[in-house]
Amino acid sequence: MTEESCCHKQKHRDDKEYKDLVHRLNRIEGQIRGIRNMVDEERYCVDILTQVSAVQSALNSFNKILLSDHIKTCVVEDIRGGNEEVVDELCKTIQKLMK
């Protein structure tokens, strides 16, 4: 068993994909800081909950993009290489995301 398969895998992303993902994460991070400020300022609960919902939506969008890319690249490459176990990994991942 190689180190890659037993411990962790890595994926190289092109510049555009990397920048898009980081941009989204930076926006989400900013939204989280905004929620923290709202709590500090003792803002109305419904206003805070609305912002939390927006963060959840942004994270879901991030997951959809990342999952789509994963399927189109990593999963396809593994199947073409004869590693059909990647399908089980994908199914488990989708189950976790749908909790």
Which tokens go with 43?
A: 């803002």
- Residue positions counted in the chain: 99
pLDDT at 82: 96
Q: Is residue 33 part of a domain?
A: yes
Q: Tokens 């989204």 belong to which residue? A: 24
Instruction: Specify whether the CB–CB gap between 51 and 37 falls below 8 A.
Output: no
CATH number at residue 31: 1.20.58.1000
Q: Is residue 4 part of a domain?
A: no
Q: Is residue 81 part of a domain?
A: yes
52-65, pLDDT tens digit by residue? 999 999 999 999 99
Query: For the whole model, what pTM was predicted?
Result: 0.83
**CA–CA dist 26, 10 (Å, integer):** 21
Q: Is residue 39 part of a domain?
A: yes
- For a pLDDT cut of 90, what percent of the chain falls above it? 86
* Domain around 74: 14-97
Q: Is residue 6 part of a domain?
A: no
65-93, pLDDT tens digit by residue? 999 999 999 999 999 999 999 999 999 99
What is the total count of domains within the chain? 1
pLDDT at 10: 87
